[in-house]
Amino acid sequence: MHALLDRPDPKPGSYHIGGVGLNEFEAEIKVYAEAAERYCAGTGILNSSFERRWATRQDLAAQTGDEVLDLSAFGFAEPTLGGPFDSYSDTAPLTWVKVPRVGTAGPEWVPAQFFYLGYNPRRHDGEPWLGTAVTTGTAVHTTRMAATLAASFELIQVDAAMGLWHGSSAPVRIALDGHRLDRIRRLLERSAGSSHELRFYWLPSPSLQNFTIACLMVGKGSQVPLVAVGLGADATLEGAMYKAFLECSGVRMLAVWASFDSEDSSTMSTDAMLDLDSNVSYYARNSRAAQSVVTRFETGVSAHADDLPPDNTHTGADLIRDVVTSITSVSPLYVEDFTTPEIRGLGLYCVRLWAPGLLALSLPSAPMRQHPRYRAYGDFGNPAPHPYP
């Protein structure tokens, strides 16, 4: 894919393609879907029929009369001092793409560099690099509805995870008792090991419905990883916990893999972590850093599962409507079908959602400190690199 996009060869494993399941089929189908997702996300700009223009926001608004997203409202005008990104200005030229906005009558203009992972900013022409597009909000499934739901849950879980880590809100540790968690408890009994402890935390997300859960794998000794974090979001508590458990298992393997070629964790600088591997390796191998993750997640209270909000019992279109409506109550939401003909031939669909008003997965050493969404999480307060892959 990097050859199609005129980019240098990526380092091994950088696409983070993997799958974990309770049986071979579950793991394999996730690998296939994730590979298809990365392909569709990266080549979306090559296949899109949406109109694009090179202009400043000021000029574009005057030329078209259409709605043009105001990036200054989301903190892009004030990047981290000394960080990798440029400042935004209404007079800076950008490539804009006209994308449908969910819940409105017509499309709006948004920056291509945030919507398309395959877009290379035209820095030689004066285009500022404002931030990274990430796969969060892009999902592949066997129907468009299922892909849309999965993409929506991704947006919600990353918003909650980033808000928890960099903000001042507190998670809720879940006591693993009661009938509500019978299936998860049986799963954990089958998966129990002597080297690590699994802990689950509910991450409340202001104005967003359903559950976001973090699963922490905490080492009992010196075996890598000392800590690993997996995330999951779902309409049900057990569903979100199961997803978080599977992702945590995958992050454990990523941490081991990333640690092979990493520098000494005791001398790693946290000022220039501009990928989503070095941070995972750092927290997996540095005991002081690992303890800081545990401490951050233990700042809240504990609760029994029965004391948490009830599951959302809606399914199908009703559930999608619930989830999407909660997102659009907080942020504009933009959508495009990224399905390519060859991926459709496999019986799969790829949906891309982007919500600039929610917190996105930032590069670990370049958090969006000025994003207004942090106010919902008690304001930005923790500048340390996040531990998420």
Instruction: Spell out the domain ranges in the chain.
Output: 24-152+315-377, 168-307
CA atoms within 13 A on the CB side of 322: 15
Contacts of 345 (CB under 8 A, 6+ apart): none
Q: How far is CA 1 from the centre of its chain?
A: 21
CATH topology classification for 168-307: Double Stranded RNA Binding Domain (3.30.160)
Q: Say what the pLDDT of residue 14 is.
A: 67
Q: Say what the pLDDT of residue 13 is.
A: 63
pTM of the prediction? Answer: 0.94
Q: Say what the pLDDT of residue 18 is.
A: 85
List average pLDDT for each run of 10 residues in the chain, which is 389 residues long: 73 76 92 95 95 98 94 80 85 98 95 96 95 94 98 99 97 97 94 87 96 97 94 98 97 84 74 90 95 97 98 97 98 98 97 98 93 97 96
Contacts of 245 (CB under 8 A, 6+ apart): 184, 187, 188, 191, 198, 200, 215, 230, 232
Q: Say what the pLDDT of residue 257 is.
A: 80
Contacts of 368 (CB under 8 A, 6+ apart): 74, 75, 76, 131, 359, 360, 362
Contacts of 263 (CB under 8 A, 6+ apart): none
